[in-house]
Structure 1
Amino acid sequence: MSRSLRVSAIMAAGTMVSRVTGFVRTMVLAYAIGTAAMGDAYNAAYAIPYSILDLLLLGVLSSVVVPMIVKAQQQDPDGGRAYEQRLMTIVTLTLIVVAVVAVLAAPLLIDLYTTNWAPDSNEFKVAVTLARFILPQLAFFGIGAVAGAILNTRDRFAAPMWAPVVNNLVVICVLLAFALVTGHAGGNISQVTDAQLALLGLGTTAGIVAQSVVLIVSLKRAGFSFRPRFDVRNARLGEMSRMGIWTIGYVVITQLGFMLTTNLSSSAGDQVPGHGITPYTFAFQLFQLPYGVIGVSVITAMLPRMSRAAGEGRLDLVRDEFQSGVRLISAVMVPMSLLLMILGPAITVPIYAHGATTVDDAVYIGNVLQVYGLALMPFTIFQLLLRVFYSFGDTRTPVLVGAGTTALHALLMMTLYFVLPARYVVMGLAFAYAVAYAAGAVAAWMLASRRAQGLGGWAIGSILTKMYWCSLPGAVLALASLWIAQQLFRSPGFSNALLSLAVGGGLGMFLYLVIAHKARITEISSIIGLVTGRTRRPVATPADIRSATTAQD
């Protein structure tokens, strides 16, 4: 079995547990606070630290920090240890300052990310209070992110994938405590007290603290010994800034798009309660699940190898890594995208239709998720293509592609916001996302193919077509399960959704695996062999891919 598959499987297992506990966390959140004003206030406050981290750090990690750490490990006499310590010192001090400033500027930040929330309204006041409790997590999250990046460069992938599980478990306990304390009033924004908001906000931050502690302990066990270093002249900040300025530009552009999204969705939520930021956020989290489990795992393992291959001038290895990544990810993403488009409400009703969230609210989240299904493959391919540029140290091209993608996204969002009725606005925002990333993926492919002297487009297109054909019987079965459930249960509800999900989702995916295995899609055979433990021969290596591609051509 190939090393790529084994490493990706280990990470996928951790990410799967993380996403499953994340599901439970979101379920409990929906149960405790609902999708109306209280839910919108929490999700607005919760989104801000992630946006700030994207601007300052997270976008730079994959494109700049990981390649820089790899370079230091290869070139520095001490294997890059001093460089890692300088990096950790700088990030720690910077994010502590940023966290303090963000807490003080919480009212301005909430006003920036929302529309039509008056300063004296309950939504605004609650969102500001929650933001002040949640924003301190900036420092801990950033430190944990750098620790995870260092672990990845040392081929220690397990802890970064499993640490979020601890975060989810802590927050689940906090949300259950919040629901217990507030009773059935947790979704009523006018009845929540400051003490209850402190429990909710500080508990959310406690989850990030626990996650960071896990990563720091794992880093120490990997041989990293932290010692503060203030000799920033040796931190290669000049080189990092030259590489990172374009990445920061890309993140700024995408965050402007996200800011527009939150403003438009919050405005729609004001007009139609339950159709604002919260359904958009919940649907987006579910949409990200397949990519988070498979895509992130493959990309995390792929980028350091691609960076080394690009540094050595081995374009053939860069192409092999990219093609292997696309095939392995698409083997799962293709059927999942179709099932999301068909079974959206069947997925969201069992998850969200509890407590403060009604069945109708959950169905609407599912409708948004169905539209997001269109975006799953374009978004995934787009993210893979960005790593091709990053492996060459090119952070400029992703900014240009990202700027065009975000500009198109913003134009489509604004158009659909003014054209569609308020109850369909959030669905329109998801559709704009899908169209924009499809266009962005086409543009990125053309530029990345030129940079790598070809990406094997015909071969990848051939295997993707094969995967879609293998997915069609499962999609038909999913549609049939919906029709049967509607005949048995005339009104939407838990039983209706559960039947559709079990038959359409479970059996539909099983049917795809069987057909794809019979069609000799090597990635599916590898996954089945990994699960059953019966595979003994190497599969899905770059050499296999070249051989399979030659045979198909």
Structure 2
Amino acid sequence: MSRVLRASAIMAAGTMASRVTGFVKAAVLVAALGSAQMGDAYTVANAIPFILFDFLIGGVLSSVVVPMVVRRQKSDPDGGRAYEQQLVTVGTIALTLLTVVAVLLARPLILLYTDGWSPRRIEVAVMLARFVLPQIAFFGIGALAGAILNTRDRFAAPMWAPVLNNVVMIGVLAIYYLTAGQAGADVNNVSDADLTLLGLGTTAGIVAQCVVLMVSLHRVGFRLRPRFDLRGAGLGEMGRTASWTLAYVSITQIGFLVTTNIASGAGNAVPGAGNTAYAQPFQLFQLPYGIIAVSVITAMLPRMSRSVAEGRLDSVREEFSSGVRLVSALLVPAGLLLLVLGPAVTVLIYSWGNNTLDAAIYMGNVLQIFGLALVPFSLFQLLLRVFYSFGDTRTPVFIGAGNTAASIALSVLAAYALPAKYVVMGLAFAFTITYVVGTGVAWALASRRVQGLNGREVAAGLSRMYIAALPAALAALAVLWITRETTDLNALSAAIMLVGGGGLGMVLYLVIAHRMRIPEVSSVVGMVAGRVGR
């Protein structure tokens, strides 16, 4: 556990810096664009590059590239260097072609993810999409570099590079807000010059992130030499393995397509309760997952892949169970605190500029529902890495198909059964239920694969963590109630709730968990105390 903890701590520090600057970026974004029609247009346009990257390449990186590069590093006489160069060559060509095609198809792509938008609103989204779609190439090349760095146990750069992207975006959005003013939040009055600044600035941030990762890869000895001698490179094997990953991503994107269209329709009926009201809370929900779970997942996958290659299933079980307990030690209280303090978080971040207080509170209500999904969603992602460490990309497809079918059914039910104002909340609840059920299914299948996942030990640890976290949630609720009774809800009172309620809650949880001798919490406390004492 100590090795995972050290690696995770390095990544968590970078991810923390990335997420903190991401907080600022999100606040400036909503202040500049609002959370109604202009905000929704940007949200959809900027999501498409990531959708396409994920659809064709992103899933392959996380599930196929890392395990295969690890195997080639162990088996090839040159330590897999030629193989890495071949991967980067093929990836760069594929990403460039994908980017060109995507830019040409910007309009139909926007129409695919919107429902009932006005012609002007669609024109704004299409123009933004043409500027931001080149992100695909730079984001993908950077992700390839990050995957290779991870196989060499170099985790810092992939976690710190997004900070530069956020800093660039903060500057661009600040300039946009100062130059466009209130017109910047109105699709009917925003100028083409302002849209050009917004679109090109968004892509510039991803370019900077890519450059940082390529420089870091060069520093660890990788040399970018185009390699077209692909015979015997094993790319056919990768293609066969990746086909299941592409199927998995395709299935999940169907769910995203349905969610986006339902949110678009709700936003038409109730401005401020559409795509932005779903996307921004989802990003906030991803904050503790990104800082804690992603760091552990990134460190776990290469280690589990090596253990599988050496036939040591006991090491896989131990790596997984220790990772689950380590992740849950902080995600359990974080999920409960989001459930209590969701509106305080969003009012502090989003109640500025061209956005309204009511819209910020609405996003907080959505965030509260997402808080319920934090632990099951994170456990689900950890479970998928068990399959990927075996090179099994087929089983996650069937799990993903079930997840997506359940999500679509529940989302459509929410769209038809709930008033438009509550539809986005219903989508968040559908997401939560889907991952609770999906985690149970994935656990049963993964446990069968590795002959047990130390389930009793994990369940006992999680139970103790929730027992320790309940007083923390109650303390945060008390601070919330006192603050609401004595002041009006605004950014200042929200900050008091977060500092008082969130801070008191986390301190109380750490003290109780440490006294209960929950080893994962004690390890975190000990590591922090040791660093402070230096």
How does the TM-score come out when normalised to structure 2?
0.98
CA displacement, residues 128-159 of structure 1 (integer Å, 9 cap, x when unaligned): 00000000111111000000000000111000
Deviation at 1:70, TM superposition (A): 0.7
Query: Residue 404 of structure 2: SS of its match in structure 1?
Result: helix
Match of 2:5 in 1: 5
% identity of equivalent residues: 62
In 2, Cα distance between the equivalents of 1:286 and 1:510?
21
Match of 1:190 in 2: 188
The 5 Å alignment of 1:95-106 reads 95-106=95-106
In 2, Cα distance between the equivalents of 1:252 and 1:361?
32
Higher deviation after alignment, 475-484 or 414-423:
475-484
Query: Residue 324 of structure 1: SS of its match in structure 2?
Result: helix
Match of 1:249 among 247, 250, 271: 247
Match of 2:520 in 1: 523
Query: Residue 451 of structure 2: SS of its match in structure 1?
Result: coil
Deviation at 1:232, TM superposition (A): 2.2
In 2, Cα distance between the equivalents of 1:396 and 1:431?
28
Residues 338, 475 of structure 1: 8 Å contact kept = yes
Deviation at 1:503, TM superposition (A): 1.7
Match of 1:71 in 2: 71
Say what the alpha-carbon RMSD is for the aligned residues.
Answer: 1.1
Deviation at 1:27, TM superposition (A): 0.5
The 5 Å alignment of 1:464-503 reads 464-489=462-487, 491-503=488-500
The 5 Å alignment of 1:269-348 reads 269-348=267-346
In the alignment, structure 1 residue 263 sits paired with structure 2 residue 261: yes
Residues 31, 353 of structure 2: 8 Å contact kept = yes
In 1, Cα distance between the equivalents of 2:435 and 2:197?
38
In 2, Cα distance between the equivalents of 1:502 and 1:359?
20
In 2, Cα distance between the equivalents of 1:478 and 1:370?
14
The 5 Å alignment of 1:138-177 reads 138-177=136-175
In the alignment, structure 1 residue 463 sits paired with structure 2 residue 461: yes
CA displacement, residues 266-289 of structure 1 (integer Å, 9 cap, x when unaligned): 000000000000010100000000
Match of 2:128 in 1: 130
Deviation at 1:535, TM superposition (A): 10
Match of 1:432 in 2: 430
Residues 66, 147 of structure 2: 8 Å contact kept = yes
Q: Which blocks of at least 5 consecutive residues in structure 2 are unaligned? A: none
Match of 2:406 among 381, 405, 408: 408
In 1, Cα distance between the equivalents of 2:461 and 2:282?
27
Deviation at 1:534, TM superposition (A): 6.7
In the alignment, structure 1 residue 510 sits paired with structure 2 residue 507: yes
Residues 36, 269 of structure 1: 8 Å contact kept = yes
Residues 40, 278 of structure 1: 8 Å contact kept = yes
Residues 184, 194 of structure 2: 8 Å contact kept = no
In 2, Cα distance between the equivalents of 1:66 and 1:495?
45
Q: Which blocks of at least 5 consecutive residues in structure 1 are unaligned? A: 537-553
Match of 2:367 in 1: 369
Match of 2:222 in 1: 224
In 1, Cα distance between the equivalents of 2:134 and 2:460?
49
Deviation at 1:496, TM superposition (A): 2.7
The 5 Å alignment of 1:370-409 reads 370-409=368-407
Query: Residue 387 of structure 1: SS of its match in structure 2?
Result: helix
CA displacement, residues 370-392 of structure 1 (integer Å, 9 cap, x when unaligned): 00011111101100000000011
Query: Residue 232 of structure 1: SS of its match in structure 2?
Result: coil
Letter in 2 for 1:197: L
Query: Residue 239 of structure 1: SS of its match in structure 2?
Result: helix
Higher deviation after alignment, 144-153 or 239-248:
239-248
Query: Residue 348 of structure 2: SS of its match in structure 1?
Result: helix
In 1, Cα distance between the equivalents of 2:11 and 2:445?
30
Higher deviation after alignment, 491-500 or 94-103:
491-500
Match of 2:26 in 1: 26
In 2, Cα distance between the equivalents of 1:473 and 1:414?
37
In 2, Cα distance between the equivalents of 1:356 and 1:377?
34
Residues 277, 362 of structure 2: 8 Å contact kept = yes
Deviation at 1:439, TM superposition (A): 0.5
CA displacement, residues 86-136 of structure 1 (integer Å, 9 cap, x when unaligned): 100111111111111101100000001111124xx2210000000000001
In 2, Cα distance between the equivalents of 1:311 and 1:144?
27
Query: Residue 455 of structure 1: SS of its match in structure 2?
Result: coil
Query: Residue 35 of structure 2: SS of its match in structure 1?
Result: coil
Letter in 2 for 1:448: A
Deviation at 1:482, TM superposition (A): 1.6
How does the TM-score come out when normalised to structure 1?
0.95
In 2, Cα distance between the equivalents of 1:335 and 1:204?
34
Residues 526, 535 of structure 1: 8 Å contact kept = no
Residues 371, 430 of structure 1: 8 Å contact kept = yes
In 2, Cα distance between the equivalents of 1:354 and 1:215?
33
Match of 2:46 in 1: 46
In 1, Cα distance between the equivalents of 2:479 and 2:223?
56
In 2, Cα distance between the equivalents of 1:234 and 1:90?
14
In 2, Cα distance between the equivalents of 1:472 and 1:192?
48
Deviation at 1:531, TM superposition (A): 1.3
CA displacement, residues 187-236 of structure 1 (integer Å, 9 cap, x when unaligned): 11111111110100000000000000000000000000010011222331
In 2, Cα distance between the equivalents of 1:478 and 1:137?
40
Letter in 2 for 1:445: W
Query: Residue 161 of structure 1: SS of its match in structure 2?
Result: helix
Letter in 2 for 1:27: A
Residues 264, 275 of structure 2: 8 Å contact kept = yes
Residues 144, 213 of structure 1: 8 Å contact kept = yes
Query: Residue 242 of structure 1: SS of its match in structure 2?
Result: helix
Residues 33, 356 of structure 1: 8 Å contact kept = yes
CA displacement, residues 450-474 of structure 1 (integer Å, 9 cap, x when unaligned): 0000001111001100000000111
Query: Residue 223 of structure 2: SS of its match in structure 1?
Result: coil
Count how many residue pairs are aligned between Structure 1 and Structure 2.
533
Query: Residue 375 of structure 1: SS of its match in structure 2?
Result: helix
Match of 1:540 in 2: none
In 2, Cα distance between the equivalents of 1:235 and 1:214?
28
Residues 529, 535 of structure 1: 8 Å contact kept = no
Match of 1:200 in 2: 198
Q: Post-superposition, which runs of at least 4 consecutive aligned residues in structure 1 deviate over 3 A?
A: none
Query: Residue 231 of structure 2: SS of its match in structure 1?
Result: helix
Deviation at 1:57, TM superposition (A): 1.2
In the alignment, structure 1 residue 533 sits paired with structure 2 residue 526: no
In 1, Cα distance between the equivalents of 2:20 and 2:472?
23
Deviation at 1:180, TM superposition (A): 1.1
Letter in 1 for 2:54: D
Match of 2:179 in 1: 181
Letter in 1 for 2:178: L
Match of 1:539 in 2: none
Query: Residue 397 of structure 2: SS of its match in structure 1?
Result: helix
Query: Residue 231 of structure 1: SS of its match in structure 2?
Result: coil
Match of 1:85 in 2: 85
